[in-house]
Structure 1
Amino acid sequence: MMNRKSLMNPTLIGFSAILMWSTLALLTTLSGSVPPFQLTAMCFSIAFLLGVALWIKQGGNILHHLRLPYAAWMLGVIGLFGYHFFYFMALSHAPAVEASLIAYLWPLLIVLFSALLPGERLRWFHVAGAIAGFVGAALLVTKGEAFAFNLQYSLGYASALLCAVIWSSYSVLSRRFGSIPTNAVGGFCGVTAVLAWICHAVFETTVFPVGGEVLAILCLGIGPLGLAFFTWDYGVKHGNIKVLGALSYTAPLLSTLLLVVCGLATASWVLGIACLLIVGGAVLAAGDFLNKT
């Protein structure tokens, strides 16, 4: 098992991805009416260019960075493109509240799946903390209102569940490919961009962003849909993956708080309770890690 002190920096780097993901809702709102696959394609194209910049900085033949094991390519592309594809499928075939709630199972699944990794030990407080975070996220998604699952949306629910399984599996299995450098994510982003452009051509009508929308899309491609995937890869490969899983529930909380600060959402008692559950759950899940680091 890796020394806890050696896990601190990679875990903090991984947490930076969560911080970037907390800006996703705000930046997506500011990006206007650009359809989802087009927005994904544009952002991942920017992320690919970031990867190319890293390859150039490292030196050598750029194509060398694309010479990865077939399994690594499969994991990376299915993780990045598969997650977004099934997330959009879920939103297209089920109400957003239920679809988002199911999709937000991925942090909890990361905590549970991490027990399958060599040297990892799952304790009750890891699970309890992750469950508390999920309940807090559920309050944010539903705004404390009642909801009901309807069988007519089964395809959307299944897509949302598959979405959660894909991202949690990608995150946990990335540890198995610890020898693959993080800058390989640039290649995964490039393939994801191509596949997203194809889906856009098949399913959507192009919308040209204007004014501030262009800046919002650029920020998306650089931050939550760009650098975040690089820092997340480094974090789950070298940091404490159970802590990162539990901390992931702070993303919807910080996202909501950011919307409130920007005047795009209002504060409420639900937000306060969700805050206590998510922060408390994260502290509970990370308690042993923080106390002994």
Structure 2
Amino acid sequence: MSSSVSRLQATLIGLTAVLMWSTLGLFGAASGNVPPFLLNALCFGISGAAATIWLAMRPGGLALLRQPLKVWAFGTAGLFGFHFFYFTAIRNAPPVDANLINYTWPLLIVVFSALLPGERLRIHHVIGTLLGLGGAALLVTKGEGLSLDPAYALGYLAAVCSCLFWSSYSVLSRRLGAVPTQAVAGFCLATSALSIVAHLALEETVWPADAGEWLAVLGLAAFPVGLAFFVWDIGVKRGDIQVLGAGAYAAPLLSTLLLIAFGFGAFTVIIGLACLMITLGAIIAAKDMIFRRRSAERTVAEAPLGE
């Protein structure tokens, strides 16, 4: 699915995951009081089943799910591990603190990418990503800072684990470039199964209360907890991983703006400043890609006729 796209195309495809993840807050708010692990099980189950059915309708499609055990373990650990530790963090620490610690994963992606063959970490990647992290910090804390009470050490540790799981999964996916993106369907199904186990062990069952809440669950399964993981896989395997890392900070910003647009909040100076920082950071981090494309377009425009 992903081998025929260029680096630029793969980067743009990967960034659509950020757009989808920005709808998490809106769809999550509309899904009612369904507990996190049950919601995880429902969404990953629906998205994984839909992708598997899509594969079954194509000749040889299901054969793409036949991957070595280490690939299954890696993919499932990435998806389930991130969500398990994130939910554990927000249960055992103030959500503001846990969210901000978790939002260091895009920065870690940029830093870890320096370990990949053929990748070079430049100063503008770091500057752009730090600007994005600063903007995300303003959004999450509303400019009021963190408490970081030692009493919530378990929650903070879980938040650190969640960001390490997702950043490691994203970067190490590049080393598994030969694994087809279609295999993510299997990772989703395995994550759903483990989420059911976690739900039964840790939560009280509360189902969506009405058709509106079920539609919100379907919206989550279709985009932020479904298609987003497939396009992200294409991006991190074939695209500019530093740009993807910096661009990921647009997710909390767009999520906040969506909630405001639907009446769940108000636009403030803090949000405006965060918007500026995240946008500027993404532009700085993507400097090479932007100017390389402009240079290529200029070369084509200046080429003599007939060449």
Is TM (by shorter chain) over 0.5?
yes
RMSD over aligned CA atoms reads: 1.1
Q: Equivalents in 2 of 1:51, 1:250: separation in Å?
A: 27
Report sequence identity in percent.
Answer: 53
The residue number in structure 1 matching 2:203 is 204
The residue number in structure 2 matching 1:227 is 227
CA-to-partner distance for each residue in 1:45-93, whole Å, 9 max, x for gaps?
011112213312332373x233212221121011000000000010111
How far the C-alpha of 1:204 sits from its partner, in A, is: 1.1
Q: Which of these two proteins has the greater Rg computed from alpha carbons?
A: 2
The residue number in structure 2 matching 1:137 is 136
The residue number in structure 2 matching 1:100 is 99
The residue number in structure 1 matching 2:184 is 185
The residue number in structure 2 matching 1:281 is 281
Q: Equivalents in 2 of 1:220, 1:82: separation in Å?
A: 19
The residue number in structure 1 matching 2:305 is none
Q: Equivalents in 1 of 2:58, 2:98: separation in Å?
A: 41
Q: How many positions carry a matched residue from both structures?
A: 288
The residue number in structure 2 matching 1:16 is 16
Matched, 1:68 2:67: yes
How far the C-alpha of 1:264 sits from its partner, in A, is: 0.4
Give the TM-score of the pair, scaled to structure 2.
0.92
Q: Equivalents in 1 of 2:197, 2:55: separation in Å?
A: 26
| Corresponding letter in the other structure for 2:183 | A
**Segments of 4+ moved more than 4 angstroms:** none
CA shift in 2, pair 1:61/1:253, >3 Å: closer
The residue number in structure 2 matching 1:53 is 53
Q: Equivalents in 1 of 2:181, 2:108: separation in Å?
A: 23
Give the TM-score of the pair, scaled to structure 1.
0.96
The answer to whether the 8 Å contact 1:236/1:244 transfers is: yes
The residue number in structure 2 matching 1:109 is 108
The answer to whether the 8 Å contact 2:65/2:182 transfers is: no
Corresponding residue SS for 1:58: coil
CA-to-partner distance for each residue in 1:102-139, whole Å, 9 max, x for gaps?
00000000000001000000000100100000000000
Q: Which stretch shows the higher mean deviation, 65-74 or 268-277?
A: 65-74
Q: Which runs of 5+ in 1 are unaligned?
A: none
CA-to-partner distance for each residue in 1:163-183, whole Å, 9 max, x for gaps?
001000000000001010000
| Corresponding letter in the other structure for 2:51 | G
Corresponding residue SS for 2:290: helix
Q: Equivalents in 1 of 2:75, 2:66: separation in Å?
A: 13
Q: Which runs of 5+ in 2 are unaligned?
A: 294-307
Q: Equivalents in 2 of 1:160, 1:108: separation in Å?
A: 14
Q: Equivalents in 2 of 1:146, 1:171: separation in Å?
A: 28
| Corresponding letter in the other structure for 1:97 | V
| Corresponding letter in the other structure for 2:238 | H
